Structure 1
Amino acid sequence: MAVEPLLATRAQRAFIGTITIQAIAVLVMVGITFRKVDEHVQLRLGRYTTLPCYLALFALAELFELFMAFDALRLRNIIQLLGIWLFQGALIVFAALQVHQTRTALVITPDCDSQTSYVNCGGSGTLWSQIQPFLIVAPVIIGTSWFVMLFTIRKLYGEFGWAIFHVVGANPKMKTMYQWYQIMICLLKFDFFFFTGVTMQLLIVVLQKNSAEFGVTIAAIPVVLLLLILCGIAVQREIKSVMTISLVMMLAALSYLYKLVRFYEPSSRDQYLSTRATLTTFTVVAFLLLLGTFGVGLRCYSDFDRGLISSKVHSIPIRPSASNQNSSANMSQKQNGTSGAPLGPRISIE
């Protein structure tokens, strides 16, 4: 069975097409919301900064998801496809939270109408009543795409489920080790997004440029990025010293959960009023992902020097050429005897 080229099958094109159409539609909804609010309020002031943060996070999320989709199809990685599907579910939650947070940022008096205050009232004819439909449409679009992706991933599972066999062979232990390696690489990619999401929200919405916390947050960006890159190289090339340092740094980074205290303690909770829900969600998910990455990293470390490094380095299945296919067919006929009857189909490991 030949490995199909990238985007050569209907399931692959449907998967990428679903994510692309979703990204365009959602960003249009977010852009319309942003424009309408920007016409009437100063987005750099206090509670209103949640809107540019909302736009930036959705743009980052949609571009990240599109990149991950192409990457998963290129690598024939079922695990990463499932990770994208779960990420899509997280986007639904995030889009739903933004409806509440945008209302919190804009509406001060819920019961009054536009005659009292166009911006800060929540009744008919107000700014909130005009942007609410666009905010609601976003999670509806993402939810619909989530169901479509479920069906395309099922098709892709049948298409890619045998690819590991071509990389590591029929040894069940090698297959298990390779699957843990795939999980590790996938987790590192999602770690990057959620760390970037938390950092972006803190820089846009909360932190003052002249504060020490702002400087520490800026400095943490290249450090974490370098950590994730080095960890990915270490787990692929099985470099024990670099992997050990990466795991120790991951353990230290888990202390970042202390940020949750600042979101809710009386002295600073007003500072996080309009973004507390998404900041809390992103911080908790980032913590759990990093904790999971640490655990999977230990599992991958235990598999070092057990014969998997060649499969990791050359992990992309390559479509056989016509000459290779013909030579393989001729070899099969020779092995099968003089009758020239082809061998029966081989059952691959799913």
Structure 2
Amino acid sequence: MAVEPLFGTRAQRAFIITIAVQAIVVVTMVALTFGMVRADAGTTFTNLGFKTLPCYLALFILAEIFELIMAFDALRLRNIIQLMGIVLFHGALIVFSALQVHETHVAIYNCQSCVTDPNHLWDKVQRFLIVAPCIVAASWFFLLFWIKQLYAEFGWVIFHVVGANPKFKSMYQFYQIFICLLKFDFFCFVGVTMQLLIVVLSKDSAEFGVTIAAIPVVLLLLAGCARAVKHEVKWLMTISLSLMVPAMSYFLYKLDRFYAPSTEDQYISTRATLTVFTVVAFLLLLASLAIGIKCFRDFDKGLHESKAHGQSYTPVKMQVIDAFRMGGMSERQASYFPGGAPLQQQISIE
């Protein structure tokens, strides 16, 4: 028999469908909220306090697209660690969607003069805002159920890539964790940057220019780090890991700006979400640095070939050799059994 290809099993199909369906429902709820507030506010919708709503919509679209791509990538590579990362990311989406109920409430009541009746508008959009975290939470439990089945289906893939050596298995798992962390670093950085550019920063401010300039630097850092660890390029890995320290310092600096008396007013409309994103981004970078150092220490220990080519996973064919159908086997094949004759069913992996 053959191992099922991509989307060849019910668990794989159900996992990706669950993410896709909840993405459509949640983005629809957020878009309806955005549309209702925009229609009620009219030309005053450009007020600074309302900027949190288009930012909220943009972040959710980004998050759902990112999660869908990550899920497809994890299923394609049979990557259990990335699937676990998706579950944690989905849990963070529950928190984010719940925070937006409070943030939208603040936006509407801080701009009471911009809407016809803030109480009536809040009553209209509240139900849609509450549906979002409920749907995300419900789908999270379904994902846990399907991942349990996917774990059983994909659990032997590391053996296929690195063999039975437990030391190689451990090193490869740290490599997978590091690559997964880099992907989530990318999302958190884009999330923080998007909120700053849409909601907070003035285009004429120096901080706006610094934030724009930081985008290509951080993206090159993450891409360079991924390439360095995959191909074991020591000088590039050293530079990439070193740059993570100032990147973490930048997030701590921004966190201080959110609550400093001189600057807190400009962040008030989206401070809760920005704080969560910034803290998570800092912790992810810290974890990336620690795991990256571990991966760096594993360079030149025989794992390069597995990292360079192991991700290009192709389903392994398995054959059941029936003890009662061995009559047509060649002499060479039969010699693998005691006495040259089969005693029981055997499974071979080609």
| TM-score, normalised by the number of residues in structure 1 | 0.91
SS of 1:43's equivalent in the other structure is helix
- CA shift, 1:314, in A, is 1.4
- CA shift, 1:333, in A, is 4.0
CA offsets 1:153-207 (integer angstroms, 9 cap, x no match): 0000000011100000000000000000000000000000000000000000000
Match of 2:118 among 118, 121, 137: 121
| TM-score, normalised by the number of residues in structure 2 | 0.91
Match of 1:95 among 71, 93, 97: 97
**How far apart, in 1, do the equivalents of 2:117 and 2:284 lie?**
38
Q: Which residue of 1 aligns with 2:70?
A: 68
Letter of the structure 1 residue corresponding to residue 136 of structure 2: I
**How far apart, in 2, do the equivalents of 1:117 and 1:136 lie?**
23
Any conservation in 1 of the 2:3–2:318 contact (CA below 8 Å)?
no
Within a 5 Å distance, the mapping from 1:278-293 to structure 2 comes to 278-293=273-288
Q: Structure 1: which 5+ runs fail to align?
A: 111-115
Letter of the structure 1 residue corresponding to residue 153 of structure 2: E
- CA shift, 1:108, in A, is 4.1
Letter of the structure 2 residue corresponding to residue 304 of structure 1: F
Q: Which residue of 2 aligns with 1:194?
A: 188
Letter of the structure 1 residue corresponding to residue 254 of structure 2: K
Cα 1:332/1:133, change in 2 over 3 Å: farther
Q: Which residue of 1 aligns with 2:164?
A: 170
Any conservation in 2 of the 1:166–1:317 contact (CA below 8 Å)?
no
Cα 1:77/1:119, change in 2 over 3 Å: farther
- CA shift, 1:339, in A, is 1.5
Letter of the structure 2 residue corresponding to residue 66 of structure 1: L
Letter of the structure 2 residue corresponding to residue 30 of structure 1: V
Letter of the structure 1 residue corresponding to residue 213 of structure 2: A
Any conservation in 2 of the 1:23–1:62 contact (CA below 8 Å)?
yes
**How far apart, in 2, do the equivalents of 1:117 and 1:56 lie?**
22
Q: How many residues align?
A: 336
Letter of the structure 1 residue corresponding to residue 10 of structure 2: R
**How far apart, in 2, do the equivalents of 1:98 and 1:25 lie?**
16
CA offsets 1:66-101 (integer angstroms, 9 cap, x no match): 000000001111000000000000000000000000
Any conservation in 2 of the 1:333–1:343 contact (CA below 8 Å)?
no
1:147 aligns with 2:148: no
SS of 2:118's equivalent in the other structure is coil
Q: Which residue of 1 aligns with 2:152?
A: 158
What value does the CA root-mean-square deviation take over the aligned residues? Answer: 2.3
Q: Which residue of 1 aligns with 2:337?
A: 336
User: 333-342 vs 196-205, which deviates more?
Assistant: 333-342
Q: Which residue of 1 aligns with 2:198?
A: 204
SS of 1:107's equivalent in the other structure is helix
Higher helix share: 2
Cα 1:164/1:333, change in 2 over 3 Å: farther
CA offsets 1:207-227 (integer angstroms, 9 cap, x no match): 011111101101111111111
> Among the aligned pairs, what percent are the same residue?
61
Cα 1:227/1:332, change in 2 over 3 Å: farther
**How far apart, in 1, do the equivalents of 2:142 and 2:116 lie?**
37
Within a 5 Å distance, the mapping from 1:39-58 to structure 2 comes to 39-41=39-41, 42-58=44-60
- CA shift, 1:43, in A, is 3.3
Q: Which residue of 2 aligns with 1:35?
A: 35
CA offsets 1:46-83 (integer angstroms, 9 cap, x no match): 11100000000000000000000000001111000000
Any conservation in 1 of the 2:29–2:132 contact (CA below 8 Å)?
yes
1:269 aligns with 2:260: no
- CA shift, 1:261, in A, is 1.1
SS of 1:170's equivalent in the other structure is coil
SS of 1:274's equivalent in the other structure is helix
- CA shift, 1:345, in A, is 5.2
Letter of the structure 2 residue corresponding to residue 277 of structure 1: A
Q: Which residue of 2 aligns with 1:318?
A: 314
Letter of the structure 1 residue corresponding to residue 253 of structure 2: Y
- CA shift, 1:258, in A, is 1.0
Q: Which residue of 2 aligns with 1:113?
A: none
**How far apart, in 1, do the equivalents of 2:34 and 2:2 lie?**
48
